[in-house]
Structure 1
Amino acid sequence: MRVQLTIAFAHLRHRRRSTLVSLMGIMLGVAFFLAVSALMRGSEEDFLKRLVDNSPHITVSDQFRAARRQPAELRWPGAAVAISNIKPPVETRGIRSYRSKLAAIEQWPGLRVAPVLRGSAVLSFAGQQQGVSLSGIVPARMQAVSTIDEQMVMGTLDDLAANPNGLVIGQGLADKFQLGLGSTVNMVTASGGTRTMKVVGIFRSGNAAYDEGETFTLLKRAQVILARPDRVNRFIIQLANPHAARGVAADIEQQLGYKAVSWSEASEDILSLLQVRNVIMYSVVTAILVVASFGIYNTISTIVIDKRRDIAILKAIGFEASDIRRIFLYQGTIIGLLGSAAGLLLGYAMMRILAQVELKPPGVTDVVHLPVWWGAEQYLLAVAFALAACLGAAYLPANKAGKLQPVDTLRGAT
């Protein structure tokens, strides 16, 4: 092996210019692989973090995944006569005995849960009206399962507990109605409930529709206004491990009977889009390394042609075809390793520069930095792709060199 490595280094040193060009091709390929993958993976991680952090990991609602079977169907299954157009009795919607179900969910390890009663209402102020979603919450529990408290620009969720008629609204709604802390608005619900509410907090999430259409009040007050006494219609659950949400949601649904939807189930279309984007991204950056590998192929092929007599002599003194192939495969490996090392340094520097870039999109007040992902696996992946490309490019000329016949070459045959 030492002799083969020595010969491989000697061949590469003999053709310094073409070797340097091949090294630069691999270096740039690895560097751009790192820069592009860091930006793509960084944007994906940032998007998923916003998606996961700003929405419940699991939402249990007062619905059923499949409609309940009617009592007559259960009593006489497969009967010859079917009863159609049965109207179920009118009942107050909500999760029945929610306190016991809430206690059952709390027994699961690694999760936090908050009860919510959600409904629709109309806010009116100074002749203006706005349809909003009203969420009745328990402030202490809501702070543990959402980021709304971090988004407060005025007041806190705890201020709801001090004011039974308190209301927390978004910045968009506050600007639209010209409201501030202490302002009062009239609220009317579909059930006929009417109440004068006092603004005790204002939040800003950055989502215009959410900031204009979402409001929060105490759970007990929402139960009165929405005419659903002692009811909630959803549980909001956050997990220590968000990626386990689908399995946990299935177990909770089986235990409670009510529909439990994980964030991944609710965002299947988005996750599918991200997978397609990753395939496109890795295809593009791999193509860069494939193009760079043609330089290696050209370099090693030229060496094989120039060193035909040397190869014949090596075979004549006892070198096997596999030994000859190994010499040129070592050359591809050397170029791949040296080019990858230089590419990792250049790619790291490019990532550092990209991380310092500041952007301010139109209509956004906050400065945004490019999201860069620093995971170690992308460095390993870049080196693996580079070595695979180099060895693939070196194999064809190496195989050709191994098949050379020493007698024909030494006699001057072409």
Structure 2
Amino acid sequence: MSADAYPQQVFDADVSYIAPSIDPQRGSVEVRLAVPRAPAFLLPDMTVSIDLSVARRENALIVPSDAVRDAATPAPWLFAVEGDRLVRKDVNWASAERAPSRSSRTSARGASLCCPTDGSMRRASACARSSIEMPFEWFVALRYLRDAKGQTALILAAVSVGVSVIVFLSALINGLQVSLIDKTLGSQPHVTLQVQREAARPLVDPSNDRAVARSVQPAPQRLRSIDHWPLVMADAERTAGVVAASPAIVGAGFAVRAEAKNAVVVRGVDPERFLAIIDVRKRLLGGRFDVTEGDAVIGAVLANELGVGVGDKIRITTTEGIDDVVAITGIFSLGNEAVDKTWVITSLRRAQTLYALPDGATSIELKVADVFAAEAVAGELRGRTGLKADSWMKINAELLTGLSAQSSSKSMIQFFVVLAVALGIASVLIVSVVQKSREIGILRAVGTSRGRVLRIFLIQGAVLGLLGSFVGSALGALLSKLFEGLVRGPDGAPKFPVQLDLELFVLATVLALGVGLLAAVLPAHRASRLDPASAIRHG
């Protein structure tokens, strides 16, 4: 470099800045020079002439010195982009060999010239040994997360806490619902088929010369058997969703023991079929479930009020005026006081005798595979058989209302937790876009496409959501188990059971991943739309 006023005086300058793109108005590239040792004759606003000597090699590469890692060690290396992947390349360093020249001795400060090892002018050459490969978008995304360790840790903790709350609440509410349903269905069939109620019949019919003032009173109901009940039961068993069917005679009566006399519900059952509907054997407190010889098993509360135990006998008197003595072979507790206080279970044949219904059955009880499909099965059988079909869902409508309210509250809490997590991820990524705007501008200036920049921030959101789901799922499962063991009933069973299954963890993972991706859409779109020149100049 020389001043026009002093053409014989040559001095050196360093390139301090090279614009990343061509100025569209001037059609030139802005280059700024710095003179570290300015001569005394060099004054402001003086015109200077610059001579550049350019060495060109077809496969040469100029990279920032900061891109070379472990430069002071015997094994320096750098990352290079090959296709869509980031590849680690080992570098061998050698001394520079350049002929002195009167012309400019300018050089790109902080840059390294990489060319083949057989070139005469070189400062570095890249070898072809590749040891680590990573997609470019993944490398940059993980680098951004690693650079902002504090922000990453905070949002990761927020996602983990949010997922743990979702897992804990879902496990607790699902466990309570399953426990309530099990207790409810532990003492009743899913669907019950019975004959229709008898309708009131007119005593006097109106005529042309006689008007009748009607007073309709409900007709008295009597115990009636289902016509051709074996065929009806076989038809019900063939219905989709039905897994078990059992005939029964259910009637009112009294259990008498000495001076004690209690109202009871007598249930005559087929033992094998009945146990497929309600497995009383698992709820026995004493004795065995054996009604084959016309004996009976009774509830624990009834046994206590009558003052009887296994092996004792009681007298059963029915509404038909028929009585009989039965021996008690077992005592059960189904967890329902009304059932434990009234049920007397005996054989179907003994009940047919007690209620004067030879070869009859007053109801057919069904068990279905999906308990929440019971009403649909009942409706189908109601239309096909003409019988009265009641499902447990209709009988326990208030319970279903409570379960529905629990599910609604769970969904509402999950919505606000998800919203808070999404806002947290989005805010952190937006801050990252602002902080990294200069780097994003450089990436765009060197040819990185908008799609790649978009994927960089989407990957960050996905990584935060995925890692948060793993940590949060483990934390939620741990909290659920600790809470389950805090309070237990007299029998040792937890009062607040929790239900943890694979479906819950998969749902939590998918939810966190989806929230992470959706929350990253806005910051990613903003980053991909940055103008390179403005981002570098003002970032």
What range is the shorter-chain TM-score in?
Answer: 0.7 to 0.9
Contact 2:246 2:277 in 1 (8 A): yes
Offset from partner CA, 1:186-244 (integer Å, 9 cap, x none): 44333333444443332121222211111123333333333444432111122455455
Matches within 5 A, 1:84-163: 93-102=223-232, 104-105=234-235, 108=238, 111-158=243-290, 160-162=291-293
Q: Which deviates more, 22-31 or 134-143?
A: 134-143
Offset from partner CA, 1:317-359 (integer Å, 9 cap, x none): 344444433322222222222222333343444455456x163
Query: Partner amino acid for 2:497?
Result: P
Q: Percentage identity across aligned positions? A: 27
Matched, 1:43 2:172: no
Distance 2:153 2:369 in 1: 50
2:301 to 169, 172, 194: 172
- The change in CA–CA distance for 1:374 and 1:359 in structure 2 (over 3 A counts) is same
- The change in CA–CA distance for 1:144 and 1:102 in structure 2 (over 3 A counts) is farther
Partner of 1:216: 345
Partner of 2:516: 390
- The change in CA–CA distance for 1:174 and 1:330 in structure 2 (over 3 A counts) is same
SS of residue matched to 2:292: helix
Contact 2:200 2:216 in 1 (8 A): no
TM-score by length of 2: 0.64
Partner of 2:162: 29
Distance 2:165 2:216 in 1: 65
TM-superposed CA distance for 1:124, in Å, is 3.3
Q: Which has the higher strand share?
A: 2
Q: Which has the larger radius of gyration?
A: 2
Partner of 1:232: 361
- The change in CA–CA distance for 1:145 and 1:307 in structure 2 (over 3 A counts) is closer
Aligned length: 401
Partner of 2:31: none
Matches within 5 A, 1:14-413: 14-63=147-196, 93-102=223-232, 104-105=234-235, 108=238, 111-158=243-290, 160-162=291-293, 164=294, 166-240=295-369, 242=371, 244-354=373-483, 357=485, 359-361=487-489, 364-368=490-494, 370-412=496-538
- The change in CA–CA distance for 1:260 and 1:404 in structure 2 (over 3 A counts) is same
- The change in CA–CA distance for 1:299 and 1:96 in structure 2 (over 3 A counts) is closer
Distance 1:169 1:225 in 2: 17
Distance 1:248 1:136 in 2: 24
TM-superposed CA distance for 1:172, in Å, is 0.6
Gaps of 5+ in 1: 74-80
Partner of 2:81: none
Contact 2:233 2:247 in 1 (8 A): no
Q: Which deviates more, 225-234 or 239-248?
A: 239-248
- The change in CA–CA distance for 1:367 and 1:18 in structure 2 (over 3 A counts) is same
TM-superposed CA distance for 1:50, in Å, is 3.6
Distance 1:101 1:68 in 2: 28
SS of residue matched to 1:360: coil
Offset from partner CA, 1:277-329 (integer Å, 9 cap, x none): 22321332343343234443332222222222222333333444444333222
- The change in CA–CA distance for 1:189 and 1:325 in structure 2 (over 3 A counts) is same
- The change in CA–CA distance for 1:144 and 1:405 in structure 2 (over 3 A counts) is closer
Query: Partner amino acid for 2:335?
Result: G
Q: Which has the higher helix share?
A: 1
- The change in CA–CA distance for 1:37 and 1:228 in structure 2 (over 3 A counts) is same
Contact 1:101 1:256 in 2 (8 A): no
Query: Partner amino acid for 1:35?
Result: F
Aligned Cα root-mean-square deviation (Å): 3.6
TM-superposed CA distance for 1:69, in Å, is 9.8
- The change in CA–CA distance for 1:126 and 1:15 in structure 2 (over 3 A counts) is same
1:5 to 138, 163, 168: 138
TM-score by length of 1: 0.82
Gaps of 5+ in 2: 1-83, 85-134, 206-210
Q: Which deviates more, 81-90 or 24-33?
A: 81-90
SS of residue matched to 1:135: strand
Distance 2:276 2:463 in 1: 54
Query: Partner amino acid for 1:192?
Result: G
TM-superposed CA distance for 1:45, in Å, is 2.7
